């Protein structure tokens, strides 16, 4: 591609992105295609001769776009958000333009030092203990795996790295923990049979007394507890494990404590939500995803550690071809995680934080929390709906309940969510809480306003009416 064509399409694509984000509301939230549809519209093999960008862009609009689900839609209420923002997108453009591979300090010094500084800003913003060091990983799943590996090494005196796994180690999580802990325990060699699932209370938070009992019981049988993964903001219901008692238990039994705050961590920038992290001084590592709720393009997951030494000792490797003269003076982030090659992710985070400012980010998060409270109020007022979990942040778990049997309610609510999502106007996802099938309304798109939440509520009520039958006078 010649320079002028590059420039022309560069301008055109920026225009396209601006217009797309401005009108994304007009698309159905969920892709309206069937499995295989995109596949069948694509040629079976690559073109021998290069094609024009006009042609490629046309196919992007006609083949790819209709098969996309629109995560930046203001009526995106599914999973958790993965919100982006103009400053983040602009930074991604520069990142792509420089095409730097930031594996060690020397390969991109400013990238390494910007990462260090921006993460120190974030540490302060969240109120994490002084002296905690940050590194950017790709996702929360990777961070949990990295934490499990570090915990494994600490528990074995850094022997399993050399000798392989010699003894069984145990991991403790709440029954509400994310599936990535199970995946991490598989990969890190703990084995899924050696995960202890600690019961959660009626607020879906880990019960510390049960945690302690499980650790004591295992120790009595000469088994070796190694790691606890606590969750601040569980995926199903935003349940918050109490870090203080859990941390004290970990300290007294010498266990590694990792905190997964993938979604909820962003809310810790609000003074009124700092209570979620009470006891965080006890944790060994802490993770949250700016790519979920902090307006930073996927992927960007932030990992803070109390003792970088054990992390580095777990991952470091010193082949001749990676040695440099400044190794002793700088941070080489290749030793802070799994991959060698690293993207320049700090740039977009820096752009976002500077462009919004702490207050600007707080405003966005507060708006989402406010909208969730509003929605919660409508649910509570309606006699056919009920709230199923405490609303700590911007996630509301609810269901239709007309007092039929639990089994029938599960069927009813399953039908309800499918009807709601079929409208294409909103997208919600579901979960089960203590055996109940519930709908999750997760608010966090940058452009979501009250009217979008209200429209969702109207659709929910109208679909519920449809299902229950128009002769039901209660609605």
Rule CB under 6 A: which residues touch ligand PLP?
80, 139-141, 178, 180, 231, 234-235, 260, 262-263, 289, 301
DSSP-derived secondary structure for 151-197: HHHHHTTT-HHHH---S-EEEEEETT--HHHHHHHHHTTS-GGGEEE
Closer CB to ligand PLP, 143 or 156, in the complex: 143
Closer CB to ligand PLP, 133 or 234, in the complex: 234
Taking the complex as a whole, the smallest distance from the CB of residue 82 to ligand PLP amounts, in Å, to 8
Taking the complex as a whole, the smallest distance from the CB of residue 235 to ligand PLP amounts, in Å, to 4
> Which residues, at least 6 apart from 108, have a Cβ–Cβ distance to it below 8 Å?
100, 101, 102, 344
Q: Please answer whether residues 119 and 304 qualify as being in contact, where contact means their C-beta atoms are separated by less than 8 angstroms.
A: yes
> Going by DSSP bridges, is the β-strand pair 285-288/427-433 parallel, antiparallel, or unpaired?
unpaired
DSSP-derived secondary structure for 50-86: ---HHHHHHHIIIIIGGG---TT-TTEESSS-----H
Closer CB to ligand PLP, 150 or 289, in the complex: 289
Closer CB to ligand PLP, 108 or 289, in the complex: 289
Closest CA to 406 of 381, 380, 378, 434: 434
Closer CB to ligand PLP, 301 or 332, in the complex: 301
d(CA 341, CA 389): 41
Taking the complex as a whole, the smallest distance from the CB of residue 392 to ligand PLP amounts, in Å, to 13
DSSP-derived secondary structure for 89-112: HHHHHHHHHHT---SSGGG-HHHH
Taking the complex as a whole, the smallest distance from the CB of residue 230 to ligand PLP amounts, in Å, to 10
Taking the complex as a whole, the smallest distance from the CB of residue 79 to ligand PLP amounts, in Å, to 7
Closer CB to ligand PLP, 80 or 336, in the complex: 80
Q: How far is CA 470 from CA 420, 462, 474, in A?
A: 17, 10, 10
Taking the complex as a whole, the smallest distance from the CB of residue 433 to ligand PLP amounts, in Å, to 15
Taking the complex as a whole, the smallest distance from the CB of residue 234 to ligand PLP amounts, in Å, to 6
Closer CB to ligand PLP, 179 or 403, in the complex: 179
């Amino acid at each position: 591609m010649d320079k002028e064509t590059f420039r022309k399409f560069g301008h055109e694509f920026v225009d396209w992105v601006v217009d797309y984000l401005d009108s994304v509301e007009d698309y159905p939230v969920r892709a309206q295609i069937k499995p295989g549809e995109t596949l069948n519209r694509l040629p079976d093999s690559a073109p021998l001769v290069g094609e024009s960008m006009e042609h490629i862009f046309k196919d992007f609009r006609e083949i790819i776009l209709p098969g996309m689900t629109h995560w930046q839609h203001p009526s995106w209420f599914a999973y958790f958000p993965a919100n982006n923002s103009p400053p983040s997108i602009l930074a991604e453009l520069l990142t792509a333009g420089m095409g730097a591979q930031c594996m060690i300090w020397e390969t991109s010094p400013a990238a390494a030092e910007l990462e260090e500084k921006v993460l120190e800003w974030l540490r302060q913003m969240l109120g994490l203990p002084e002296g905690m060091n940050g590194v950017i990983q790709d996702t929360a799943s990777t961070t949990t795996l990295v934490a499990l590996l570090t915990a494994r090494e600490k528990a074995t005196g850094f022997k399993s790295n050399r000798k392989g796994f010699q003894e069984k180690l145990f991991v403790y999580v709440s029954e509400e923990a994310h599936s990535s802990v199970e995946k991490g325990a598989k990969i890190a060699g703990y084995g899924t049979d050696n995960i202890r699932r600690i019961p959660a209370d009626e607020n879906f938070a880990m019960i510390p007394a049960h945690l302690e009992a499980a650790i004591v019981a295992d120790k009595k049988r000469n088994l070796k507890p190694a790691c606890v993964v606590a969750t601040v903001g569980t995926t199903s219901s935003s349940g918050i494990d109490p870090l203080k008692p859990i941390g004290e238990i970990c300290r007294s039994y010498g266990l590694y404590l990792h905190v997964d705050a993938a979604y909820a961590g962003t809310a810790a920038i609000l003074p009124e939500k700092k209570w979620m992290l009470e006891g965080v001084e006890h944790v060994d590592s802490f993770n949250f995803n700016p790519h979920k709720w902090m307006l930073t393009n996927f992927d960007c997951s932030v990992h803070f550690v109390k003792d970088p030494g054990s992390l580095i000792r777990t991952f470091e490797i010193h082949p001749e071809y990676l040695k440099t003269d400044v190794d002793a003076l700088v941070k080489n982030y290749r030793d802070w995680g799994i991959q060698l090659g690293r993207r320049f992710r700090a740039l977009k985070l820096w752009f976002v934080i500077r462009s919004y400012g702490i207050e600007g980010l707080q405003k966005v998060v507060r708006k989402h929390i406010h909208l969730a409270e509003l929605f919660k109020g409508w649910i509570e007022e309606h006699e056919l709906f009920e709230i199923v979990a405490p609303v700590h942040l911007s996630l509301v778990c609810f269901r239709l309940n007309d007092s039929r049997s639990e089994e029938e309610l599960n069927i009813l609510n399953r039908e309800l969510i499918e009807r709601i999502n079929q409208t294409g106007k909103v997208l919600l996802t579901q979960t089960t809480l203590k055996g109940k099938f519930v709908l999750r309304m997760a608010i966090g798109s940058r452009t979501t306003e009250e009217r979008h939440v209200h429209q969702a509520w109207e659709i929910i009520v109208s679909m519920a009416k449809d299902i229950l039958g128009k002769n039901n006078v209660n609605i």
